[in-house]
Copies of this chain bind each other. A is one copy, B any other.
Amino acid sequence: MDPIAPAIILDRPQLAENIGAVARAMANFGLSDLRLVAPRDGWPQERAWASASGADWPLNAARVYDTVAEAIADLTLVQATTARPRELQLPVLTPREAVEEAHAEAVQDRRTGLLFGAERAGLETADIALCQTVVTLPVDPRFRSLNLAQAVIILAYEWRMRIDAAAPANFRPGPEPAEASSVMGLYGHLEDELEAAGFFHPPEKKASMVQNLRSALGRARFSEQEVRTFRGVVTALSRGRGRVLEKIARQKAQSSGKETA
C-alpha cells in the first residue's frame, strides 16, 4: 500500500481549463484528491473535462468548499505553494523537501495537502497562515510566471519520485558489461588480425596504437553479446580481406600464367 498522496487544493481557481490541466497533471503521477475553494465560474465546468485529456476521475471526485479552512479541515499538514512567503514565520521548502515532509506524515496514515493560489492573485496571507510550511519552486528570477498545472505537476512528480524509489520495470541500466577476459579476447583477436594486415606501422608505434584502440573501445563497455558481435565483425573483415588477397593472388597467377604461356 502506497501512503496517501497529498490532496491538491486550488484556492479560487479562475479558468476551468486550468483545473482540467491540473487534473491531468495529478493523474500523470498518481494523485487523485482534488479540492476546489470557491472556483470563480462555479462547478462543474465542462471545459475542465475537455482539457483533462481523459483524466476525468480527479474532476469527477472533486469537492468544492467556500473557504480554505473548510477545505483543509481533515488534513494534519498543509503546505502553501507560493513564491511570496510574506512576513509569516513559516519554513520555506523546495518541492523536494516539502514532499519529504508530506511523505513523513503520510506514512503515519495522516492526510496532507498542497494549497495553490489563484492564477494571478496567488494566496492570501490569512490562508498561508493556516499552513505549516511554504513551498517555493526554484524558478529563474528572470521569469517567475509559472502556469498552475506546471506548478502542480512538479510537486506531483516529486511525490511519485519519493514513493516510487524503486524504478519502474522498464527502467534499466545499460547492457551488463562483459567480463574483462571476454573483452581481452576481442582485443587480442582484433590486434592479431590488424598485425596480419600490416596495420601496425611503423612497428615501434604498435604499443601506443594498441593502447589507443583499447581505451577507445573500452569506453563503449560492450556486453558479452556485443563482444561476440564484434568478434564476428573482425572475423568477417579479416576473412573478406583474405578472400580479396586470394583473389588478387589468383588473378596475378592467372595473368603471369598467361604471360608465361
Contacts and interface: CB of A to CB of B under 8 A. Distances in A.
A141 to B, nearest CB: 8
A174 interface: yes
A209 interface: no
Given A27-B140, A140-B28, A92 B172 contact: yes
A164 interface: yes
Size bracket of the A interface: 35 or more
A205 interface: no
A90 interface: yes
Q: How many copies does the complex hold?
A: 2
Contact of A29 (B24, B27, B139): B139
B29 A140 contact: yes
A223 interface: yes
A196 interface: no
Contacts of A136: 168, 170-171
Chain A, interface SS category:
loop
Nearest to A163: B138
Contact of A147 (B24, B29, B30, B167): B24
Given A28-B145, A83-B170, A153-B154, 13 more contacts: A24-B145, A28-B144, A28-B146, A29-B139, A89-B226, A92-B172, A94-B171, A96-B161, A138-B164, A138-B167, A138-B168, A138-B171, A139-B160
Interface of A: 21, 24-25, 27-30, 53-55, 83, 85, 89-96, 136-147, 149-150, 153-154, 157, 160-161, 164, 167-168, 170-175, 223, 226
12 contacts: A24-B145, A30-B142, A89-B174, A89-B226, A91-B172, A91-B173, A91-B174, A92-B170, A92-B173, A95-B157, A136-B168, A150-B153
